[in-house]
């Protein structure tokens, strides 16, 4: 019995070694996660599918297009990764591209990029600043392969297109809305990590809040992790119990804890969502969400690749101007009653940002 069990176990262990040799999954288009409202609403309309160009110079024929989607954060976060993926699949379907999805672990970034390049994928969509170093190392080795660094700033490598978010713009509008909706005059935010990119959200939020209501008190708390909803809930409870009635969450899974805290404390405790419309998560308590149309970014890069118009060597700044004013969405469930003037103030700030009259802060006071 013992020998038989050992043999079985040993065989199972050997079998798992073959697990990496099969075809990787293609993933499903979009996501059924309850944590997000339809990301499709922010992607371009389906009509564009018919107008795929047929005669641009250098355009690849259908069979040639292969694109890979490489992400350090797993699909299913209901936010950034899923949204980017929806843009990816939309373009892939439109142009008939062969696709591959890889969720990479730390330490495997370069190998994965190299193996994708060697397998003939013409465009590698690499998500998040974590992959920037790997892209900078690997891209020059494969000058004929195109790289798109989503949320990573890379200049001067001819086959790499970087992208930068202007999260402070949408966050500015979030700050305006939060400050004007707050009854107590105190608003807060729970941020994932104390780092430059995350702090742009915080800086814009503080800037917008103070502009809308100079006597507002703003408190920013850092969780130190994106994976711990319990911590997010504790931080949010600390804020709510100290009189802060609106909390902006910028912390992925940790941020889900903020919704839990608001749900537990009930009416009068508001949340501002991040990156996607999160009002369906807690109808009646989400006054709006900052929007980053990652799907538009990825779609734009894929479209350029499909049409042969991809130009690298620079970083594209996806400001509100570039994405048709996507930056902040109000509650979509209809359960929030906005105070007089809130929506107008937000729209007004939005047009001023797009015209350049207002330039939201991207660096927090403490870091200057």
Partner 1 sequence: MNIALLIQAAMRYSAPVLLAAVGALFCDCAGVTFIILEAQMLLGCFFAVIAGYYFQSWAAGVLCAVLASILLGWFFVWITMKMKAIELVVGFAINFLIDGLTIYLLRMVFHQTGSFVSPEIPAIPRITVPVLSQIPLIGNLFYQQTWIVYFAFLSVLIAAVLIYHTSFGLHILSSGANPEAAKAVGIHIGQTRIQCIMIASVLCGLAGSQLSIGFLSMFSEGMTVGKGFIALGALMFSNRKPALVLFITLLFGFAEAIGNQVQLSGTIASELVLMIPYLAVLACVFVKKPIPEQI
- How many angstroms separate the CA atoms of 81 and 78, rounded? 7
Q: Binding segment for partner 1 among 2-10, 46-54, 131-139, 151-159 (CB under 8 A)?
A: 2-10
- x/- letters, 175..214, toward partner 1 (CB under 8 A): -------------------x--------------------
Binding string to partner 1 for residues 231 to 270, with x set by CB under 8 A, is what?
x-xxx-xxx-xx----------x--xx-xx----------
DSSP per-residue string spanning 208-246: HHHHH-TT-EEEEEE-S-SS-HHHHHHHHHHHHHTT--E
Residue 272 interacts with partner 1 (CB under 8 A): yes or no? no
Residue 189 or 300: which CB sits closer to partner 1? 189
Contact assessment for residue 303 and residue 88, using Cβ atoms and an 8 Å cutoff: no
13-52: which residues touch partner 1 (CB under 8 A)?
31-35
- By DSSP bridging, strand 286-290 and strand 328-330 are antiparallel
Let me know the angle formed at the C-alpha of 283 by 251 and 83, rounded to the nearest 5 degrees.
Answer: 45
Q: What is the contact mask toward partner 1 in residues 135 to 174, using x (rule: CB under 8 A)? A: ----------------------------------------
Helix segments in the chain, DSSP class H: 2-17, 80-95, 109-118, 132-138, 167-181, 196-212, 229-241, 252-265, 294-307, 342-355
Map the footprint of partner 1 across residues 283-322, applying CB under 8 A.
none
227 binds partner 1 (CB under 8 A): yes
> Is residue 217 a contact residue for partner 1 (CB under 8 A)?
no
Alpha-carbon distances of 196 from 129, 200, 258, rounded to whole Å: 11, 6, 22
Q: Which residues bind partner 1 (CB under 8 A)?
A: 2, 5-6, 9, 31-35, 74-78, 194, 219, 221-222, 224-225, 227-231, 233-235, 237-239, 241-242, 253, 256-257, 259-260, 281, 366
């Amino acid at each position: 019995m013992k020998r038989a069990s050992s043999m079985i176990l040993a065989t199972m262990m050997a079998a798992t070694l073959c697990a990496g040799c099969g075809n990787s999954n293609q993933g499903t288009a979009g996501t059924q996660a309850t944590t997000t409202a339809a990301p499709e609403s922010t992607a371009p309309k389906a009509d564009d599918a018919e107008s795929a160009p047929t005669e641009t110079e250098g355009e690849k024929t259908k069979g040639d297009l292969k694109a890979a989607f490489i992400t350090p954060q797993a699909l299913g976060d209901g936010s950034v990764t899923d949204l980017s993926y929806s843009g990816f699949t939309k373009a892939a379907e439109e142009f008939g591209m062969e696709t591959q999805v890889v969720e990479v672990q730390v330490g495997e970034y370069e190998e994965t990029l190299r193996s994708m390049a060697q397998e003939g994928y013409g465009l590698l969509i690499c998500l998040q600043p974590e992959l920037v170093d790997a892209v900078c190392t690997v891209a020059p080795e494969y000058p004929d392969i195109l790289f798109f660094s989503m949320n990573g700033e890379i200049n001067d490598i001819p086959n790499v297109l970087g992208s930068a978010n202007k999260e402070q713009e949408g966050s500015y509008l979030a700050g305006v809305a939060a400050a004007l909706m707050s009854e107590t005059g105190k608003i807060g935010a729970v941020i994932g990590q104390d780092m430059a990119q995350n702090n742009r959200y915080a800086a814009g939020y503080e800037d917008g809040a103070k502009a809308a209501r100079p006597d507002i008190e703003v408190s920013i708390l850092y969780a130190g992790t994106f994976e711990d909803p319990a911590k997010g809930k504790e931080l949010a409870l600390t804020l709510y119990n100290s009189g802060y009635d609106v909390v902006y969450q910028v912390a992925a899974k940790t941020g889900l804890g903020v919704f839990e805290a608001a749900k537990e404390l009930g009416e009068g405790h508001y949340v501002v969502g991040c990156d996607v419309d999160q009002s369906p998560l807690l109808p009646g308590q989400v006054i709006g969400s900052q929007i980053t149309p990652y799907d538009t970014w990825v779609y734009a890069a894929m479209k350029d690749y499909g049409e042969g118009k991809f130009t690298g060597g620079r970083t594209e700044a996806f400001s509100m101007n570039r994405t048709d004013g996507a930056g902040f969405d109000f509650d979509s469930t209809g359960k929030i009653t906005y105070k007089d003037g809130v929506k107008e103030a937000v729209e007004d700030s939005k047009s001023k940002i797009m015209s350049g009259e207002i330039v939201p802060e991207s660096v927090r006071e403490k870091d200057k």
